[in-house]
Amino acid sequence: MSFIFYNPNPEHRFVGDCTIRAICRLLDMDWDMAYANTVFQGFIRKDMPSGNKTWGQFLLKKGYKRYFIPDEYLYRYTVQDFCIDHPVGRYLLVLDEHVVTVVDGNYYDTWDSGRENPIYYWTKGE
């Protein structure tokens, strides 16, 4: 389990597009395609592409399902803990104000978010 720096943003920006960056890694998709897909989903929903329901609907269409972190672990269970508990698979973790991808026990982000607390996550495999 380790942090791996990852920033597919073609302009190397670090703020405001964490969901797009996370979707890129989760789906092995380039930034432009991930952005275009979420914008299109926002157009269909008449909502912003950054809205959880908008990009969540995109993940649902890709076959992903959402799972919540049990209440007894909420706010003491970290991204690092999640990686230890999930050494295999692809996951998109939703934190309070951030989104990060875990692939095979490693978390991909522009900063070390390992001590942050996930609230829920998306995956295909459970």
Q: What are residue 67's phi and psi, to 5 degrees?
A: -135, 140
Supply the pLDDT for residue 126: 65
pLDDT at 110 over 80: yes
pTM: 0.93
Decide which of 125 and 105 is more confident. Answer: 105
